[in-house]
């Protein structure tokens, strides 16, 4: 079977505004790092490499209000709709999320990309799927948008898989360099969803993402944070998969794995300080696919999130697509040699200490499939 690419050019027309962060007369306006080139250049490289022609390209549908309401409040949806109708405005604290004219419908289409990916994988039409769209979603919580994110695409897809497809358990494994606070907040007390986030310690958003944040009530143990130190490289990420993520998935036994796929852990990304190369993303994707093969029949969906270095990002994304599809193109990453020394460093003692802490927290409250401790 093939890999599906979920794509609609209209999601590239999302207006993310002309400034990121607080407003001030001393900040010269410009475009934000979450601009269209960061995603469109991925699609362009897929096209010119010949890989798009070997994927199953699927046009998405838009997410319905009913589907959005599974994770977001009605008041929040109305707020986004109103911002759209007023011609666009910032809808988050500190100026981090802008909804432009037409933004509500585009965000619905973006969320629908991940729903379409879930349908394609669960129907058996494809082996796996990647939803490539804007705007990103993993920071969005039930009642607010944060950090470029309007609707939480991965969380909406997880709830859809549970409620529409009747799955018992869904795992979210967020590899974006920034904490997956949205899934944590939305599924905080829900043992049907295992929310795992591998992120840069003390990155954005601040004050969340600690190993001690494990859920509560019946959801205790079903939220796992692995905050890695800035500068962590491929070895630390793969050790994290081996020691924390894979055992947690083994205990949880998901029916589907959803990967909010941020590529901002890339070594030149302007929004984070991690050290992953295209080879690193290739290895990380393979490790997550192996987890899916062993625990849920290979059912895995990647949903695009961050990644903002326009030159390196397409090569990092291509590595993910090549690994998912098992097709290696003739494209060679011209940045690979420059990144080799830092990105191939062994796990450092302070990185291993962070993994030790995350492993201990997971073992103290393992996410058992039964939902009973």
Cβ 71 vs Cβ 142: under 8 Å:
yes
At residue 125, the 3 state secondary structure works out as coil
Query: What is the spatial distance between Cα 151 and Cα 163, in angstroms, rounded to a whole number?
Result: 18
CA dihedral angle for residue 361, residue 358, residue 217, residue 165, rounded to 10 degrees: -130
How would you classify residue 301: left for phi > 0, otherwise alpha for psi between -120 and 50, otherwise beta? beta
3-class secondary-structure state, position 57: strand
Instruction: Give yes or no for a contact between 288 and 173, defined as CB atoms under 8 angstroms apart.
Output: yes
The 8-class DSSP code of residue 126 comes to: S
Task: Look at residue 2 and give its three-state secondary structure.
Answer: coil
> What angle do the packed helices 153-163 and 103-122 form, to 10 degrees?
50
- CA of residue 365 relative to chain centroid, distance: 24
CA atoms within 13 A on the CB side of 231: 10
Indicate if 178 belongs to the active site: no
Q: Do residues 170 and 142 make contact, with C-beta atoms less than 8 angstroms apart?
A: no
Beta strands in 175-273 (DSSP E): 193-200, 223-228, 256-261
C-beta of residue 145 within 8 angstroms of C-beta of residue 157: no
Residue 217, sorted as left (phi over 0), alpha (psi -120 to 50) or beta, turns out to be: left
Let me know: does 16 contact 70? Beta carbons within 8 Å. no
The Cα 219–Cα 70 span in angstroms is: 17
Catalytic residue among 14, 35, 138, 139: 139
Give me 106's structure tokens. Answer: 């585009």
Cis? peptide before 56, omega within 30° of 0: no
Yes or no: say if 127 and 1 are a contact pair by the CB < 8 Å rule: yes
Catalytic machinery residues: 139
């Amino acid at each position: 079977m093939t890999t599906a690419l979920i794509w609609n050019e209209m999601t590239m027309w999302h207006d993310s505004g002309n400034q990121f962060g607080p407003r001030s007369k001393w900040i010269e306006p410009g475009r934000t790092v979450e601009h269209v080139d960061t995603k469109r250049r991925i699609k362009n490289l897929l096209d010119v490499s010949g890989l798009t022609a070997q994927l199953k390209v699927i046009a998405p549908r838009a997410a319905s209000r009913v589907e959005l309401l599974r994770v977001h409040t009605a008041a929040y949806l109305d707020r986004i709709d109103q911002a759209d109708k007023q011609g666009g405005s910032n809808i988050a604290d500190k100026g981090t999320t802008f909804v432009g004219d037409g933004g509500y419908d585009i965000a619905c289409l973006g969320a629908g990309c991940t729903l379409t990916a879930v349908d394609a994988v669960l129907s058996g039409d494809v082996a796996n799927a990647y939803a490539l769209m804007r705007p990103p979603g993993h920071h969005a919580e039930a009642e607010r948008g944060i950090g470029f994110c309007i609707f939480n695409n991965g969380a909406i897809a997880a709830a859809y898989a549970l409620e529409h497809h009747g799955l018992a358990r869904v795992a979210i494994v967020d590899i974006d360099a920034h904490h997956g606070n949205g899934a944590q907040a939305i599924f905080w007390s829900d043992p049907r969803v295992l929310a795992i986030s591998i992120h840069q310690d003390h990155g954005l958003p601040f004050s969340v993402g600690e190993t001690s944040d494990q859920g509560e009530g019946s959801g205790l143990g079903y939220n796992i944070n692995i905050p890695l130190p800035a500068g962590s490289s491929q070895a630390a990420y793969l050790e994290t998969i081996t020691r924390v993520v894979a055992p947690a998935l083994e205990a949880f036994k998901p029916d589907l794995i959803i990967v909010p796929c941020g590529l901002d852990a890339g070594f030149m990304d302007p929004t984070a300080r991690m050290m992953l190369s295209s080879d690193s993303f290739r290895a990380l994707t393979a490790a997550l696919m192996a987890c899916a093969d062993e625990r849920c029949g290979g059912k895995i969906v990647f949903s695009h999130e961050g990644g903002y270095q326009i030159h390196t990002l397409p090569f990092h994304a291509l590595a993910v697509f090549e690994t998912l599809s098992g097709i290696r193109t003739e494209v060679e990453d011209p940045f690979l040699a420059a990144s080799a020394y830092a990105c191939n460093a062994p796990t450092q003692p302070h990185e291993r200490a962070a993994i030790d802490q995350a492993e201990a927290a997971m073992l103290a409250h393992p996410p058992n499939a039964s939902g009973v401790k």
